[in-house]
Amino acid sequence: MPPTPAPTPVPVEVFLHSSPAEWWQIVAALAPVAVLVAAAVGAFMAWQTLRQKAIADDRAEWWKRTQWALDSALDQDEDTRALGLAALEVLASSELARNEELELLDIAWKSVNGYEEPLAPQHIPVKASSPATASQHRVQVAAARLRVTLDRRLGRPTPDQTKTLAKEEP
């Protein structure tokens, strides 16, 4: 049997009516775009909220560490005081510390230091003979370092003797 020839395509007539679209047809056509925009706005708002929460959590932890360091800096024991001042110096360097907190740390520095500049390096030698003198020197060096950091962050000048003392080994 001979093969049957393929059917010949028959043209289909299409009639287009060009009347203006109804409002609901326009809204229906834009619905996927509106859903995409709403999803993007929602995602952005969620990201901002999470970011703000993370910053708030970081600041809360910073403040807990600062409270510990302040308590230590005001302790009667010289070695504990030196440790607290050194911790305050690190915390003052943090970007989490705003000017208000830096001012509080400055008040703590003044309280520990008796509202005076640290002693010049020649008053207490680096190689102190007694443990009490060595501990006192560690406190002064830590206080000087905290002062240098606070002055840098608050845009204030630092006295040269404080800068010199801050460079010494505790």
DSSP state of 168: S
102-109 contact pairs (CB < 8 A, 24+): 102/150, 102/153, 102/154, 103/154, 105/66, 105/146, 105/150, 106/150, 106/154, 108/70, 108/73, 108/74, 109/85, 109/143, 109/146, 109/147, 109/150
| 66 vs 85: CA distance, rounded Å | 10
Q: Which residue from 90, 95, 102, 36 is spatially nearest to 65, judged by alpha carbons?
A: 90
More confident residue, 138 or 113: 138
Tens of pLDDT, residues 1-21 = 677 888 888 888 887 777 787
Residue 129: the pLDDT is 53
Tens of pLDDT, residues 57-78 = 999 999 999 999 999 988 889 8
pTM of the model: 0.66
| 6 vs 51: CA distance, rounded Å | 67
